Each structure stands twice: as structure tokens, then as C-alpha cells.
Structure 1
């Protein structure tokens, strides 16, 4: 292997570890619900998925694994037709026996894989503990619209205290889609309803829902990376693709539900330890938002504008200068990272403001975040009585012209700003008149 290849591999690993390390730290001690369907259990690479779950546990993440068994039940019922009404199985006595047998099969398979621990690693000597129990109290669905659902049930209560006790002992808690009544009966439950109820009861930080497709898609067929709960509820196209259990979890304190394809190798690791993940995030609060900068953002803003300063697109700013002017900056934050920013310097007497230092991180070009940031600043300026925004630029004239800025003379600037004009840079002046509409 050549020296240049070794250097590339080293840099790739270092870059990856630096980007992943903050997430490793942030996730430690958090409680995650992971739900998988019975299809995942039958997949060729299921052992890799369980190994990744064991790895998450070794990193200090508290894991509750809720597993499904539908295909395993169907296999046992292949000689008789399964009955469904509105997507819900009618569980008679024979079907219930198959449910119990399927649970035992899948439970044993998961435990046997977890018993391998983190093989072929420095932690191979450590064992991965598992725990299960009668954590779910259920009741029968009963007779609805004249249909008797027999032993199909609905969740009545989750014993969160007992689950937390097992998690405190560093166990991975395994929960099947079965609930029990105080009279000793067993009921077949929907896996996603169990996962949702457990996530709500535990106040889980995340529910990682491994699904068959990639996530939620917009009307053009593009994968939607993130949605707020409000967006999911108000957009009929999105709402049709999201189960009621997911929406219920978000409405009851689970801040993030992440829909991830179980078909993707390493899906959990990619979703949890990369900033953008690979699936669809549904969150109660915006994953990405625009806000006023604070002194704590100085380092992030410096990292954002440094490449543009080095390219000569922006004028260099020292850390001291940025600290003194940080109150003029607005930033766009994505999961703790500053991905865009700009400054607005008002000239109150002339009712003008200078837009400066507009920058978008190179990894997030293409979604017009700069345009969104500009629109935010225009609204802010208008609310303070500003009627015109101007910008001095050497290389991005067309971008501003496409957004309503027009070329202007130096004399159109406030006197105080004209005295600071750098004739060596020879920047062009563009001005935008703000709408009089509020």
C-alpha cells in the first residue's frame, strides 16, 4: 500500500471519528427504543444488526428492543388463512398459539446473537445482558363493528419502573408484541403500538423505527430528511405515510422518531453518528432553525467563514472583532452545528442596513439556505424600520441580483459606510428596497 493511500485512509478515519465523537458523547446515558419487524429477523444480515445494537449498548446507550413476528406467525399459519380486518389480525386460539411460538423463536434468536457479545474486538470478553418480562398490561380489543377480534389486544399500561430497573443494570430490554391481562390471559399486539407506548412511558430520547422503505417521500418522490410534528400533521401527503403510533409518540413527549430503512447495512450507526442520517427524522422541535447568534457561536461562525476568507470572497475577521460584533449575526443551526450565517449592520438614520458575511457551509449548498437566511434578515430589518438593504460583493453579484438586489453607486451608501470603503477590493454595490408590506 502506497504512502499516499495510507495518508488518505488515516485522514478519512480521523475526519470520521472527529465528526462521530460528539454524538457518541451526546447519546451516552440516553434511552433509545429500537423497533424491528419480523422481516428483519429473517434477513441474511440480521446478525450484523444485532451486533450494532450490542455496540450501541457498549457505548452507554440504554436500549429497549421491540421486535415483531408477523412473518413468523404467517409461516405457522400457512395451512389456514389468516384473517385481518382494517390491517389488524383476528387472533383466535390457534393463531394465539402461533403468536406465542413465534415470540419464543425470535426471542431466542436475538438472545443467542447477543450472547456473542462484541466478538473480534477488545471488548469481546464482556457479556451483553438481556432482560424481558411482563412489562405490558393489555386488554382485548373486543367486538367492533360486529367483528370479534378474540385474542387481539390493545395496550393498557406499560411498567416503566420495571423496565428502567433492567436498564439500570446495563441490560438490553427485549419486548415482544404480547401483553398480559391481570387475569392471566395473553394478547397479540401491534409491534409499532408497543414501541410507541414504551417510548412514551419511558420518555425516550429517540425511537428508531426500522422500516422496509427509506422513509417519508415528498410529492416528487424525493426522500424527506426531516419533518416537524406540525409539518407532518398539516401536510396530508406526509400524514398518509406516517403511522398513528409515530404521531402519537411525538405528541406525547418523544422528541425524535427516526424512520430508517432496515435494508441498509449499518443503518443504525449511519443514522445515529452522522449529522444528516439516512432516513426521515420526525421531531417535536425543528431539527434546523434560524436564530440570533450568541457569544458561544463565535467558534462556529469562524469555522463557517474561514474557507470563504481564504478564497478572498469575504474580508478576514479576527476572533476579537467577531466577538465584538456577534450581536449583529444571525445563524442557521442544524443539530448543534452552525451551517449558515450572516450579519446585518443597521444605519438607523438612513433607514438602511448592510448585509455582510453571508456564508453557507459547503456540505449544505443546494437547498437555498442562503435565501432562507436572507428572507429572515429582511423581515427582521423591516420590523425595525429599515427600508433598504445593501451589500458589497466581489464575486456573488448574480446571486444577489437573482434575489432582488440592483446595482447602485457608492454614493447611495450611508456616509459613514462610504468612508470605510476598501478601494483595493473594489467591491460592487447592490441595494434592495424592502417591501412596504409587513
Structure 2
């Protein structure tokens, strides 16, 4: 149902996510390029909004372009190996100064109460500190990386204590050693290690690209770590793509459920990824958020909602809740992030070695993705396993789809006796049959 105000529909559709995200821990990396290109103010507003909705936030910020600019201004040429700076004392002084300046800028903006925005008056308490312990990279390939380091551990208990008090935690790409030294760290590694240590619900990486694309240029909405790892290994060492994919895959391997790759260029990316069903970027997850599975009684409400529009258009025969409950074991569903977007049923007539393919439905917003064919293939597999020799279907609107998938026209005598007796002559449904032999 449309409203006069489009945001009302969006708000209704986002409400399940608002509820689901409350009390969750999100680790968010904002690469330095975002701040260098003036995106900081908008991102701070979005962070404030997430905070008001009850999300526990840990924010890591990158400083690579700012340090590059500082080194150029000082006439210092940084040596790089395998995508990392070789950080000597002079470079480390630049890194420390830039990191401190960026942290102070962030904390100052978060302390303003966000004037001239819809979130005016919201108070955010942001805290940083010696929350990441580090160790030196040491000598690698004959190169002494000096003050370049890697994460040794994240002080998870201290961060959890801050989050429990409603504090937004800010982590610079710096780490501290037990001997009192400071090391330059990769911001993506800090984000990944923080997400793992905190058992975060999400790791969100804001970079240049709006996600990963296939060879045709189409955005890939979801990948497993196995899918993503070769892309990272093929990327240039030290590139943002290599760093982000390494962080995403490692986070997934250690139990972080979802990592999101989105672009800071898109002003709506952070909220669009978190509060819409399909998101706007690429998600790396061990578990598919769209899955084909047997239906259960808990799916009845979702099935009724999916089928109602098709029943109102006369494409499907109306099914009551009681009927669905009685036949639920016959159904397969496609679930996408908690929403039933497709279904089909297989009603067996064992005395005739036939089964009816019934109630094939895909949500209007998700057609064109071969989901109907996926449902059909799985039900055919199930039918063959159960010794069914042929499928039949009755349809008033979608005969051509069935033709494309191997069904042919048949007459009423082709139906099993029980189904023949229940045939509704008023609907004039076409009868289609497919042999499974």
C-alpha cells in the first residue's frame, strides 16, 4: 500500500531492522579518504542516529591520505614494501601527529550536539585510549619495518565496559606495546581484530568501492569467505580491496556473522545497508542470508503474506491458515533475511505415482532471479527420491513458465482420480504434466 509520504513506507519496512540492531555491537571502519573528501560530517550524523537507536558502536578511522600529505609537506619519502610503510622515527612522528589530529577532530564533532541537523541536542560520549596492544612487524624479507606493527590483542573487556555505559569507542590505527612503544597499524586489521575480540554482530568497512562486482559489472550482494578470498589474493598488495577482503574473510573465519563492504561516496550507504532488506553493498558471510529450505509452522504468517496478493489477482486458489498448517510438510520456502520471498508445494498422490506441483510463488520484488526454477528443481529431486514418476500442475496464468520447464498440456483424464474429482471447472485451469523418467 502506497502512502503520500514515501518515507513512511521506508520506515515501516525498516522497523524490523531497528528492533534487530538495538543492543548489537557494530565495528565500523571509516577509511581516511572519506574524511579527506569532506564526508566526515554526514557520517557523524549517521553514527549519532545509530547510537540513538541503541547500537553499540566501535569506530576505527584510517589516516593513510592524511599521512601521505603530511610526509609530502615535510619532504619525507616513505619506503613501502608489500603495501606497508617502513615507518622510521621521522615518519612515526607524522603518523602520531595526524592520528591525534584526526581523533581530536572526530571527538570535537561528536561533542557538538550536531547543530543544524535533525539530531540537534543528541549528546555522544566518545572515548579513545590504549585499547589496542601491538607488536612490531620486525624484519621481513630483509627489511626492518621499524615502527610498523601488527595487532597483538584488543582489550575487549575494557571496550565492553565502555560500551555498557553508552559510550562510543574510537580506535586510531595505532597500537601500544608493553614496553611503552607506539606502532603504526593497518586500520582494516584493527577493525577486524576488534570485531573478533568483541564478538561483534557486524563489521562494516567504508571504502572507495560500493562493493564487489562480477565480470559483467553487476554488484555481488553476498559472498562467502571462500568466494571472496581469491579476489583479495589477486588484488595488489596493500590496496584497499586486498586489506578489506582479508579483514572480512578473517573476521568471518573467527565468528563475525556479517561483514559489509560499502562506499563512503554514497551518502546513504551506511543506513541503506543496515535498514533495507537488500542493502546497497556486498556482504561477506559464512551463512547465506537467502536460503531454500523446508517450511515449518513458524513460516505460516510469511506464507499468507506472500500468497495474498496472488490470490487477490486470481493467480492462486486461496489457502486458509488451517490448510497451510495441515499441508506445511509439503512446502519449500525461500527465506531472505527473515522474509519468505518464495514457496512451492509438492502434494503426492502415491496411488498414481504422481505429485502436484502447487502454489509456486515468488514475491514481486524478487522475480527474475531464477528462484522459481530453483524451487522446481528441488521439488523434482524430492519427487524422484520418493518414487514419483510424473508431476502435474494446474494454472490459469503461468502456463508458458511451465512449458519452458518441460511441462506439456494434458487433459483431465491425466490427473489422479482424487485430483480429477476435485478439479474446479469454473476456474478452467490448464492441466500440465511433466514426466520424471
Is TM-score (shorter-chain normalized) higher than 0.5?
Answer: yes
CA–CA distance in structure 1, aligned partners of residues 344 and 200 of structure 2: 36
- Residue 18 of structure 1 aligns with which residue? 12
- Residue 106 of structure 1 aligns with which residue? 102
Q: Secondary structure at the match of 1:55?
A: helix
- Residue 408 of structure 1 aligns with which residue? 410
CA shift, 1:361, in A, is 0.5
Q: Secondary structure at the match of 2:162?
A: helix
1:91 aligns with 2:93: no
Tell whether the 8 Å contact from 2:354 to 2:391 is kept in structure 1 after alignment. Answer: yes
CA–CA distance in structure 2, aligned partners of residues 411 and 186 of structure 1: 83
1:67 aligns with 2:61: yes
CA–CA distance in structure 1, aligned partners of residues 369 and 291 of structure 2: 14
- Residue 381 of structure 1 aligns with which residue? 383
Tell whether the 8 Å contact from 1:131 to 1:171 is kept in structure 2 after alignment. Answer: yes
Q: Residues 377 and 239 from structure 1, CA distance in 2 versus in 1: closer, same or farther, beyond 3 angstroms?
A: farther
Q: Secondary structure at the match of 2:303?
A: helix
Q: Secondary structure at the match of 1:203?
A: coil
User: CA-to-partner distance for each residue in 1:353-374, whole Å, 9 max, x for gaps?
Assistant: 1011111001111111111111
Alignment match of 1:189 (pick from 181, 185, 188): 185
CA–CA distance in structure 2, aligned partners of residues 342 and 160 of structure 1: 46
CA–CA distance in structure 1, aligned partners of residues 392 and 249 of structure 2: 44
User: CA-to-partner distance for each residue in 1:152-181, whole Å, 9 max, x for gaps?
Assistant: 001111110011011011111000110111
Alignment match of 1:296 (pick from 295, 298, 319): 298
1:143 aligns with 2:139: yes
User: Structure 1, unaligned stretches of length 5 or more?
Assistant: 1-6
Instruction: Judge which range, 360-369 or 322-331, deviates more.
Output: 322-331
**Pairs within 5 Å for 1:36-47:** 36-47=30-41
1:427 aligns with 2:421: no
Tell whether the 8 Å contact from 1:218 to 1:237 is kept in structure 2 after alignment. Answer: no
- Residue 57 of structure 1 aligns with which residue? 51
- Residue 281 of structure 1 aligns with which residue? 283
CA–CA distance in structure 1, aligned partners of residues 330 and 224 of structure 2: 28
Instruction: Judge which range, 219-228 or 241-250, deviates more.
Output: 241-250
User: CA-to-partner distance for each residue in 1:369-414, whole Å, 9 max, x for gaps?
Assistant: 1111111111122222222111111111111111111222221111
**Pairs within 5 Å for 1:192-203:** 192-203=188-199
1:209 aligns with 2:205: yes
CA shift, 1:230, in A, is 3.6
Tell whether the 8 Å contact from 1:288 to 1:335 is kept in structure 2 after alignment. Answer: yes
**Pairs within 5 Å for 1:314-333:** 314-333=316-335
CA–CA distance in structure 1, aligned partners of residues 102 and 251 of structure 2: 25
Q: Residues 294 and 369 from structure 1, CA distance in 2 versus in 1: closer, same or farther, beyond 3 angstroms?
A: same
1:349 aligns with 2:354: no
1:28 aligns with 2:30: no
Q: Secondary structure at the match of 2:4?
A: helix
- Residue 370 of structure 2 aligns with which residue? 368
- Residue 3 of structure 1 aligns with which residue? none
CA–CA distance in structure 1, aligned partners of residues 232 and 132 of structure 2: 30
Q: Secondary structure at the match of 2:357?
A: strand
User: CA-to-partner distance for each residue in 1:81-117, whole Å, 9 max, x for gaps?
Assistant: 2211111111111110011011111101111111123
Alignment match of 1:134 (pick from 127, 130, 134): 130
Q: Secondary structure at the match of 2:427?
A: coil
- Residue 258 of structure 2 aligns with which residue? 256
Normalization by structure 2: what TM-score?
0.94
**Pairs within 5 Å for 1:152-167:** 152-167=148-163
Tell whether the 8 Å contact from 2:31 to 2:206 is kept in structure 1 after alignment. Answer: yes
User: Structure 2, unaligned stretches of length 5 or more?
Assistant: 235-240
CA shift, 1:306, in A, is 1.1
CA–CA distance in structure 1, aligned partners of residues 200 and 248 of structure 2: 13
